[in-house]
Amino acid sequence: MKDVFHSTGFKIMVAVVFAMLCLMLYTAGAGDSATGKLFGFITIPMQRISTIVANNAAVSAESAARSKEELEAENRSLRRQVDELNKKLVNYYSAQQENAQLRKFLELKNNNQDFKPVAAAVIGRDPNDLFGQFTIDQGSQAGISVNDPVVTEAGVVGWVSSLNSSYSKVTTILSPETKISAMDRVNRETGVVGCDIRAADRSLLHLNYLSAGTAVKAGELVVTSGIGGLYPRNLIIGTVKDVKNSSYDVSLYAEVKPAVDVKS
């Protein structure tokens, strides 16, 4: 029990009680005026604080409700702007691609005055054809004829093997039926580009009939030579991958990777 009276907590409690008694005695002696002043001194600031808090809460609630509606409207507006920008971006890239194709088209036309290019699109493929045969949306009405070469801005694709008035069948460069007079663009050595089933399965071409002392090397471009008149001169066919010995004679041949993936 004595420990309680001597503890720090007990001393603090006694000090607080003493202060409260002094305050009560003072206010009792001073009368109602002092009591009212003291009460007002304590309660008025509290009332002001509670009023400010209540007003701020009301303003915050109103602002929150208004901000939610504004944010939703702003979000809808931003979505519309994003959609419009995406459309413009798609149109921009489409126009850019079309312009690049037209430049290549014009360059091809200028370099080959005797040929009349006709723009066409692929509308179908033969899934049973091992060599990537496909159909384009232009035929005899557009001035196309059998044996006409088919090219893209990247290079040679094949030739028209059959047609009607509104569409044409295209046999690709991977077909064993295709033979193209070609040359190495670096040293101008000529040969004939062809293909067989095994090479077509690997999507490769052969530049055949190279001389035993050929200077053709891997990495060099193979282009059309213009000999025979079927294909315009200097159209890209592909890139030399390797040079090998022929199984049929003493000549060499080059494996060529086509510039155009005709199967896709």
258 vs 67: which has the higher pLDDT: 258
What band does 17 get if pLDDT is binned at 50, 70 and 90? very low
**Three-state SS sequence of the chain:** CHHHHHCHHHHHHHHHHHHHHHHHHHHHHHCHHHHHHHHHHHHHHHHHHHHHHHHHHHHHHHHHHHHHHHHHHHHHHHHHHHHHHHHHHHHHHHHHHHHHHHHHHHHHHHHCCCCCCCCCCEEEECCCCCCCCEEECCCHHHCCCCCCEEECCCCEEEEEEEECCCCEEEEECCCCCCCEEEEECCCCCEEEEECCHHHHHCCCEEEEEECCCCCCCCCCEEEECCCCCCCCCCCEEEEEEEEEECCCCCCEEEEEEECCCCCC
Listed in sequence order, the residues at least 6 apart from 142 whose beta carbon sits closer than 8 Å to its beta carbon are 118, 120
pLDDT in tens, 174-212: 999 999 999 999 999 999 999 999 999 999 999 999 998
> Sheet harboring 149-151: ordered strands across?
122-125, 134-136, 168-172, 156-163, 149-151
41 vs 254: which has the higher pLDDT: 254
- What is the rounded CA–CA span in Å between residue 133 and residue 123? 12
pLDDT in tens, 189-199: 999 999 999 99
Q: So where are the chain's domains? A: 1-28, 122-171, 180-258
pLDDT value for 143: 94
- Percent of the chain exceeding pLDDT 90 equals 45
The answer to whether domain 180-258 has CATH 2.40.10.350 is yes
- Whether the Cβ atoms of residue 183 and residue 243 lie closer than 8 Å to each other: no
| Intrachain domains 122-171 and 180-258 with the same fold | yes
Average pLDDT over residues 23-27: 49
- What is the rounded CA–CA span in Å between residue 23 and residue 27? 6
pLDDT value for 33: 52
pTM score, whole prediction: 0.62
Average pLDDT over residues 10-24: 48
Average pLDDT over residues 111-117: 76
Q: 257 pLDDT exceeds 60?
A: yes
What band does 54 get if pLDDT is binned at 50, 70 and 90? low
What band does 13 get if pLDDT is binned at 50, 70 and 90? very low
CATH superfamily, domain at 122-171: Rod shape-determining protein MreC, domain 1 (2.40.10.340)
- What is the rounded CA–CA span in Å between residue 193 and residue 185? 14
